[in-house]
């Protein structure tokens, strides 16, 4: 589980800037997700060590649940690492607890070279800003959108992908045949949220301070998805409890004409079926064009031993050339506007199309997290409600209204 890379050793002891002339070796500790130990990042650490003789990077990788457990224990012990990657929900939580380093002064000092927030997608800035101050910097910014099998759509008489729900439903029916579905939905609740948001619904309403996924707009979105399964028979019932890769596997095998997923499935599709003729489409627009957003941020604990060096690594890891190299090799989408405009990214039709969806993508639970009210139990309530609708064909309006009441009761007891 734990992989630690301890690089280099030095006899001459000079760290960056403020440590010049010191006479002791130093180590900067970094916690990262186990799946993100990309070669491009290891090269950044090697360059940091080369530029700062006497310093080593202790790069520790964990699965997200294990990383959180260790980080919380470190906070309690007053011995946190210097730099931490987080999966999108921890910056508001830990900043509101006074556990993170305020990055305002560092970002302002280095604006000429770092161009923060000017060169960053607005959503990535919003996700890392708490009470008007910066506490994290986005390193990956992802979203989910529509993938379609070009040949299947052409065989059914469609040269272009759908742009709204009516077109989507028509094409899903037309491409369904024996052993092949027009659309393969994902069982995880978050994958139902594009339908909710495209119809004007939302997870939480900051104006009322209440959960809002029981609204008429939200119910219509989930009911639309259920009707594809139970009325049209153009989508299979997603397997409850199964991993979220199921739709990708159907798509890769040529057994689904359309799926909704993110850039994390680019390489599995490319390697799983190199001959598959597929493309990425903009997200559908009903009331509005919208889709779900995810990603990873970097944050510096308030009690980090070396915040200046950690900030240096943030700048290096999010440099545009590193972002471009990482995205081309690992099919990850990035938060900087100059990354999206890079000619190599634009030349990749799959990667570039995912990037084009980032500006209108939204972090579903961000408003609740920023209000300091996020509780994972609410996600479980919504997940159970989605299960009832998609698996048991229960009416979305009734199920989601009851789930909203239950979620708001949880919120009231916080």
CA distance 271 to 244: 18
| Strand 137-143 versus strand 291-299 pairing type | antiparallel
Are the C-beta atoms of 278 and 270 separated by less than 8 Å? no
Q: Please tell me the chain's helix, strand, coil percentages from 3-state DSSP, rounded to the nearest 5.
A: 45, 20, 35
To 5 degrees, how large is the angle CA 130–CA 65–CA 314?
Answer: 50
Name the E strands within 221-334: 258-261, 278-281, 291-299
Per residue of the chain (414 residues), give pLDDT as tens. 333 333 333 333 333 333 433 435 799 999 999 999 999 999 999 999 999 999 999 999 999 999 999 999 999 999 999 999 999 889 999 999 999 999 999 999 999 999 999 999 999 999 999 999 999 999 999 999 999 999 999 999 999 999 999 999 999 999 999 999 999 999 889 999 999 999 999 999 999 999 999 999 999 999 999 999 999 999 999 866 555 678 999 999 999 999 999 998 999 999 999 999 999 999 999 999 999 999 999 999 999 999 999 999 999 999 999 999 999 999 999 999 999 999 999 999 899 999 999 999 999 999 998 888 999 899 999 999 999 999 999 999 999 999 999 999 999 987
Site of tokens 């906070």: 75
Please give the Cα distance from 111 to 133 (Å, whole number): 15
Which residues in the chain are classed under CATH 3.40.190.10? Answer: 26-142+294-362, 145-261+375-412
Task: Give the C-alpha separation, 217 to 69, whole Å.
Answer: 37
What is the fold of 145-261+375-412?
Answer: D-Maltodextrin-Binding Protein; domain 2 (3.40.190)
Q: Are 201 and 253 in contact, with CB atoms under 8 Å apart?
A: no
Alpha carbons 338 and 345: distance in angstroms, whole number: 10
Concatenated DSSP letters of 334-394:
-SBHHHHT-HHHHH-HHHHHHHHHGGGEE-TTHHHHHTT---HHHHHHHHHHHHHHHHH--
Q: How far apart are CA 91 and CA 257, in angstroms?
A: 38
| Tokens 């890392």 sit on residue | 128
Of 39, 49, 36, residue with least CA distance to 7: 49
CA 410 to chain centre: 26
Phi-psi region of 350 (alpha: psi -120 to 50; beta: other; left: phi over 0): alpha
Angstrom distance (rounded) from CA 8 to CA 136: 28
Cis bond upstream, residue 243 (ω within 30): no
The interaxial angle of helices 165-174 and 216-230, nearest 10 deg, is 10
Per-residue pLDDT at 241? 54
Q: pTM for this one?
A: 0.85
Which tokens is 299 given?
């944050």
Per CATH, domain 26-142+294-362 is 1.10.150.120: no
d(CA 155, CA 158): 7
Contact 116/137 with Cβ under 8 angstroms? Answer: yes
């Amino acid at each position: 589980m734990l992989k630690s890379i301890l690089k280099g050793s030095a006899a001459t002891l000079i760290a960056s800037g403020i440590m010049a002339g010191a006479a002791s070796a130093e180590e900067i500790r970094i916690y990262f997700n186990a799946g993100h130990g990309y070669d491009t990042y290891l090269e950044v650490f090697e360059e940091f060590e080369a530029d700062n003789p006497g310093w080593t990077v202790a790069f520790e990788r964990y699965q997200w649940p294990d990383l959180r457990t260790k980080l919380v224990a470190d906070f309690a012990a007053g011995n946190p690492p210097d730099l931490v990657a987080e999966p999108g929900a921890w910056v508001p939580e830990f900043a509101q607890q006074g556990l993170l380093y305020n990055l305002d002064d560092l970002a302002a000092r280095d604006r000429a070279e770092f161009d923060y927030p000017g060169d960053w997608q607005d959503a990535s800035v919003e996700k890392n800003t708490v009470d008007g101050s910066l506490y994290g910097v986005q390193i990956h910014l992802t979203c989910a959108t529509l993938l379609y099998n070009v040949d299947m759509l052409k065989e059914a008489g469609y040269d272009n992908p759908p742009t709204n729900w009516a077109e989507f439903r028509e094409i899903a029916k037309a491409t369904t045949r024996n052993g092949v579905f027009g659309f393969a939905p994902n069982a995880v609740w978050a994958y139902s949220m594009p339908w909710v948001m495209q119809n004007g619904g939302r997870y939480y309403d900051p104006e009322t301070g209440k959960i809002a996924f029981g609204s008429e707009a939200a119910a219509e979105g989930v009911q639309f998805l259920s009707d594809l399964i139970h009325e049209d028979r153009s989508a299979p019932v997603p397997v409850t409890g199964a991993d979220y890769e199921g739709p990708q596997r159907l798509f890769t095998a040529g057994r689904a004409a359309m799926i909704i997923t993110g850039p994390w499935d680019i390489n599995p599709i490319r390697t799983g079926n190199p001959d598959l003729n597929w493309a990425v489409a903009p997200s559908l627009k009903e009331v509005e064009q919208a889709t779900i957003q995810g990603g990873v941020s970097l944050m510096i604990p308030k009690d980090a031993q070396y915040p200046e060096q950690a900030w240096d690594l943030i700048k290096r890891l999010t440099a545009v050339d590193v972002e471009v190299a990482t995205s081309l090799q690992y099919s990850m989408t990035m938060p900087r506007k100059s990354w999206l405009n890079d000619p190599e990214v634009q030349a990749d039709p799959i990667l570039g199309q995912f990037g084009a969806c980032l500006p209108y993508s939204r972090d579903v639970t961000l408003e609740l997290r920023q209000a300091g009210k996020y509780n994972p139990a609410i996600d479980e309530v919504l997940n159970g409600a989605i299960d009832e609708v998609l698996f048991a064909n229960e009416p979305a309006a009734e199920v989601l209204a009851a789930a909203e009441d239950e979620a708001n009761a949880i919120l009231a007891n916080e």
